[in-house]
Amino acid sequence: MTRAPSEKIAYAALVTIVTAIVALQRIAIPAGGSQISVVLPIVLLALAALLVTGALVEDRYRASAYLLAFGLCLAAALGSSLAGEEGSLLSILLLGVLYAPFVYVVRPELRRLYPRVVDFFCRLMLVGAFLSIGMWAAQMLGWRYHDLLAVLPPGWLLEDYNTSYPVRAESEIFKSNGIIFLEPSFCSQFLALALIAQLELGGKRWRLPIYVAGILTTVAGTGLLLITFGLIVLAVRRGPFWTGGMFLVTVLVAATVAATPVGELLSSRAGETQDESSSFNLRFTDPYERAYDAIGENDSAPFVGRGPGFVNRETDVHFELTGLNLAFSTPTKLFAEYGLIAGAAFLAFIFIVFLSKVPSLTIAAATLFLHLTLSGSLLQPFTVYLGLVFASMFAVPAAVPALRRAGAVPRMARTPARPQP
């Protein structure tokens, strides 16, 4: 049997991708009057290296699903243009480029790298947790918050994100974004994903309270939502004994946090659902209402949408009027811009590549939940490629069942093996 491509080269490319999506998500490349996330070219170059070295193989079923879904989006974009809607060529091109890598998976011989890559992410997020905790501790000791990355030249930091803001009106304490994360909510979500991944990998339990402490300093609810979802998935998969133990631990942690000032801050956000300017409304209410209204705006919209880039235009207008950023989720953006048919097809493609024959259903489901609900992730390279690395890329390719019957490829455990030290 032909030996697989070098594991060292493949692992180096994979950890480059993980490092980029974690540590470089705030960095941009100025391009005329717009910006390109530096994560995109770095990931594409790393994927090109994997392709050139033969580490990736095409999954013909995923390729077919991608061509169908993207083809329908192209047809919808053309239809909306003929209907008189404004369209963004850059938006539709970015959609095609971002998701094209999902048609590839690693060679079966390299799937054993998955636990090592996940463990690398967990170790990297320890750094993120310490940065987040350190940023909070420094403020407690009297440091006045300012963006430490603002020393970069103008245009080299991604704009239109709430990098950090006070924990409450007129407070001098800012939510922690760990310096390197676009927003406190992203810091919270990535730390939550690391916690779920560590529970799935097993071992190194000492990392868990560090992730929790980092999440608390962000004072962001989306990370807690992701943890809740991940724990539910784990509870279903691991049974009542594990669930009972985790429930007791969760209650103990929640009671401890509730007795701290951070607990008071988190509980004060419970009424945000009634506040039109709240993060909850900007993320979970207003975008869905606007997408529903957009689809019903005219007779053609349910079939072809309002055109690529419609959501960005809506967001820009809302920001000019209110100074607040809407966060359209992946489904709302797809349906509003490409209509119900193309939007549903592309959403189905996302479900297929995130969940089909993946090495860890728990991590894949948590990543999908993050991608679909917690932020405007459809065209964000760093959240899109979380799913590529932690779910899609390590899925069993279409050709593997025949190889397995021939005894060439061993069946991988449902839960990844614990990384070797």
Six token digits for residue 76: 């919808």
Q: Which residue has the higher pLDDT, 323 or 153?
A: 153
- Is the pLDDT at 320 greater than 90? The verdict is no
Q: Over the stretch 79-110, which tens digit does the pLDDT of each residue have?
A: 999 988 888 898 999 999 999 999 999 999 99
| Structure confidence at residue 375 (pLDDT) | 75
Q: Over the stretch 2-34, which tens digit does the pLDDT of each residue have?
A: 455 689 999 999 999 999 999 999 999 988 778
Q: Which residue has the higher pLDDT, 62 or 327?
A: 62
Based on the fold, state whether residues 41 and 178 are members of the same structural domain.
Answer: yes
Confidence tier at 221 by pLDDT (50, 70, 90): confident
Based on the fold, state whether residues 250 and 186 are members of the same structural domain.
Answer: yes
Q: Where among 335, 356, 377 does a domain terminate?
A: 356
| Structure confidence at residue 281 (pLDDT) | 74
| Structure confidence at residue 402 (pLDDT) | 42
Q: Where among 316, 341, 356 does a domain terminate?
A: 356
Taking alpha carbons only, the member of 6, 14, 110 closest to residue 388 is: 14
| Structure confidence at residue 55 (pLDDT) | 94
Q: How many CA atoms lie within 13 A of 141 on its CB side?
A: 6
| Structure confidence at residue 218 (pLDDT) | 92
Taking alpha carbons only, the member of 198, 77, 214 closest to residue 135 is: 214
Residues pairing with 166 in the sheet? 174
Based on the fold, state whether residues 195 and 331 are members of the same structural domain.
Answer: no
Q: Give SS3 for 260.
A: coil
Based on the fold, state whether residues 162 and 15 are members of the same structural domain.
Answer: yes
Taking alpha carbons only, the member of 244, 194, 205, 226 closest to residue 365 is: 226
Q: Over the stretch 172-205, which tens digit does the pLDDT of each residue have?
A: 889 999 999 999 999 999 999 999 999 999 889 9
Q: Which residues, 6 or more positions from 181, have their beta carbon under 8 angstroms from its beta carbon? A: 25, 26, 128, 187, 190
Whole-number average pLDDT of the chain: 86
Contact (Cβ atoms closer than 8 angstroms) between residue 196 and residue 226: yes
Based on the fold, state whether residues 86 and 217 are members of the same structural domain.
Answer: no
For the four alpha carbons of 405, 408, 410 and 412, in that order, the dihedral sign comes to negative
Based on the fold, state whether residues 131 and 22 are members of the same structural domain.
Answer: yes
Based on the fold, state whether residues 68 and 210 are members of the same structural domain.
Answer: no
| Structure confidence at residue 413 (pLDDT) | 42
Range of the domain at 386: 1-58+107-268+359-421
Q: Give SS3 for 373.
A: helix
Based on the fold, state whether residues 69 and 167 are members of the same structural domain.
Answer: no
- Is the pLDDT at 391 greater than 70? The verdict is yes
Residue whose tokens read 């397995």: 404
Based on the fold, state whether residues 45 and 134 are members of the same structural domain.
Answer: yes
| Structure confidence at residue 5 (pLDDT) | 66
| Structure confidence at residue 199 (pLDDT) | 94
Q: Over the stretch 235-261, which tens digit does the pLDDT of each residue have?
A: 998 888 888 887 788 788 777 766 666
Based on the fold, state whether residues 221 and 113 are members of the same structural domain.
Answer: yes
Based on the fold, state whether residues 117 and 177 are members of the same structural domain.
Answer: yes
Contact (Cβ atoms closer than 8 angstroms) between residue 203 and residue 193: no
Q: With 0-12 CB in 10 A as exposed, 13-18 as middle and 19+ as buried, what is 169?
A: exposed
Q: Which residues, 6 or more positions from 144, have their beta carbon under 8 angstroms from its beta carbon? A: 172
- Is the pLDDT at 414 greater than 50? The verdict is no
Based on the fold, state whether residues 226 and 146 are members of the same structural domain.
Answer: yes
Q: Where among 311, 330, 356 does a domain terminate?
A: 356
Contact (Cβ atoms closer than 8 angstroms) between residue 238 and residue 362: no
Domain count, the chain: 2
